[in-house]
Structure 1
Amino acid sequence: MSVIKRTRESFPALSNVLDDFFSRELYNWGLSNFSSGGSTMPAVNIKETADNFEVEMAAPGMNKEDFKVQLDGNTLSISAEQEYRNESNGNYTRKEFSYQAFQRTIMLPKDVVDEDKINARYENGLLRLTIPKREEVKKKGPRNISID
């Protein structure tokens, strides 16, 4: 009788399925939008400076026309829809199309944002929003007080 050592390489298909499940599905379940294309919710970075809030969203492969950005009170909503169709004429044995949509909602501090000066731009797969603060809520530097 000989001893057979089984390694991960002995069952590559099963190993890949388990690796994919444990590395992606288990740890990123909150980012999944449950699409069959395996897409995820775009990642967002938010930075606060003395004058602005800066929001960056990674959404490669989209066009600026796909996005809808709204501010309602202190609620910022960023949504997008993209539909891709592989059109072909005549008889086809396979036709594929996909649809991707998402919405992210971010709560900003109440009564802080200067709504009229918000700037948004999309380039190289990155949506960037600059949301200025109102003048009266900006942090002011230290002030010297004279003593009488």
Structure 2
Amino acid sequence: MVITHRDSLRDVIALQNRLNALFSERANGKQNDTAEKPASFVPAVDIFENEQKIVLQLEAPGLKQEDFDIQLENDTLTVRGERKLSAEAKEEDFRRIERRYGSFARSFSIPVTVNQESVKASYDAGVLSIELGKRPEAKPKQIKVN
């Protein structure tokens, strides 16, 4: 008698992945399509803060300044854009597509310490930088002891 060891967790995960793929294909109206499609484009973001401002840097190579839509409303900063395939080549002409394309929207909650009138955006070398200046009352103040 041969004893075989089965990893039931691995089997459940494999089944879940197969079911997800099946439902995804059905939802998109595609069946038996084995070509890999890249996932939608979502730019990576770095956020840092100092005493004067909060800075968001979105990595979005291949876009132009006019491709971005930046809105600040009710303490929510929303950045939208779209990276399109080159007009020179059709999707069916590609042998492999690894870069990500499509529309994106990223939203960020902005603290009340931000002065909404002092927001600046710049785009250089594929990085969109958004600077959110802080209100004067939010900046740290040195107090001397007498």
Q: What TM-score do the two structures reach when normalised by structure 1? A: 0.62
Larger RCO: 1 or 2 (CA < 8 Å, sep 6+): 2
Displacement of 1:124: 0.6
Aligned residue identity for 1:78: V
Map of 1:49-64 to 2, 5 A cutoff? 49-64=50-65
* Partner residue in 2 for 1:37: 38
Displacement of 1:145: 2.4
Displacement of 1:87: 5.8
The separation in 2 between residues aligned to 1:122 and 1:36, in whole angstroms, is: 29
Residue among 105, 108, 124 paired with 2:107 = 105
Partners of 1:87 and 1:95 within 8 A in 2: no
* Partner residue in 2 for 1:145: 145
Q: What TM-score do the two structures reach when normalised by structure 2? A: 0.62
Aligned residue identity for 1:145: V
The separation in 1 between residues aligned to 2:123 and 2:144, in whole angstroms, is: 43
What number of residue pairs does the alignment pair up?
Answer: 106
Percent sequence identity over matched residues? 30
RMSD: 2.7
The separation in 2 between residues aligned to 1:56 and 1:87, in whole angstroms, is: 30
Aligned residue identity for 1:101: S
After superposition, the C-alpha distances for 1:5-58 in whole angstroms (9 at most, x for unaligned) are: xxxxxxxxxxxxxxxxxxxxxxxxxxxxxx933454111000011110011010
Partners of 1:86 and 1:95 within 8 A in 2: no
Stretch deviating more after TM superposition (56-65 or 74-83): 74-83
The separation in 1 between residues aligned to 2:141 and 2:85, in whole angstroms, is: 49
Displacement of 1:83: 3.3
Displacement of 1:70: 0.8
The separation in 2 between residues aligned to 1:81 and 1:39, in whole angstroms, is: 10
The separation in 2 between residues aligned to 1:73 and 1:129, in whole angstroms, is: 17
Aligned residue identity for 2:131: T
Map of 1:82-121 to 2, 5 A cutoff? 82-84=83-85, 86=87, 100-109=102-111, 111-121=112-122
Q: SS at the partner of 2:117?
A: helix
Gaps of at least 5 residues in structure 2 are 1-35, 95-99
Aligned residue identity for 2:145: I
